[in-house]
Amino acid sequence: MQKIKISPSILSADFSQLSLEIKKLEDAGADMIHVDVMDGHFVPNLTIGPPVIKSLRKHTNLIFDVHLMISPVHKYIESFSNAGADIITFHPEATESMHETIGLVKELKKKVGVSLNPQTPIDLVKDFLDKIDLVLVMSVHPGFGGQKFMPEVLSKIEDLSKLKKEKKLAFDIEVDGGIDFDNSKLVKKAGANILVSGTTIFKNNNGDIKKNIDALRTG
């Protein structure tokens, strides 16, 4: 059984106390911190940029799992790298050259991920699976927190898992969007090994973050 990692999304945290919220996540056993970056252009919402990531970097040694929902993404990669991102994930639709953007992230000595929206076919990433570290499968439409999980993406996770085994590759399969204690079982069974969750981790069980993280990981 592959190790399941939990990447809590700080989109659901108290933004007035982000450093304290991250400390709570670290103490509760989170494997990494998922940072959603939205530009109000690629997706219809605005969140945080490099200065906030840089200010948070000194408060934890946890991996910063940075999901860039911005376009054009290529010219901002270096700024997020310098701010302290450890994994930089972008969307195929947000770059003119997958090859160049992947290459830039690698040059900066960061792990690189590619994110697939619910409607984005695996074909866009198939030829790059041996060059990337992570595929982020969106199980909601990106841009807003609190949406309901879309079960139709389970087949995409299964297909990626099958390709991973067939080609003997090592990329992680991460899933983000509406993850709760029930559908987390389905995505793990389908082949995902990293779960992103915001609302479930911060709000369930009267905000018992450790209990929620443990339940997502082992449930």
Which tokens sit at 158?
Answer: 């299964």
31 is a catalytic site residue: no
Q: Are strands 111-116 and 5-8 parallel, antiparallel or unpaired?
A: unpaired
Q: Is the peptide bond before 72 cis (omega within 30 degrees of 0)?
A: yes
Q: For residues 129 and 159, give the distance between their C-alpha atoms in angstroms, rounded to a whole number.
A: 13
Active-site residue (options: 31, 36, 65, 172) = 36
DSSP string computed for 135-195: EEEESS-TT-SSPPP-GGGHHHHHHHHHHHHHTT---EEEEESS--TTHHHHHHHHT--EE
Q: For residues 96 and 203, give the distance between their C-alpha atoms in angstroms, rounded to a whole number.
A: 39
180 is a catalytic site residue: no
DSSP string computed for 69-112: E-SS-GGGHHHHHHHT-SEEEE-GGG-S-HHHHHHHHHHTT-EE
Q: What is the DSSP letter of 5?
A: E
Q: For residues 50 and 123, give the distance between their C-alpha atoms in angstroms, rounded to a whole number.
A: 31
Catalytic residues: 36, 176
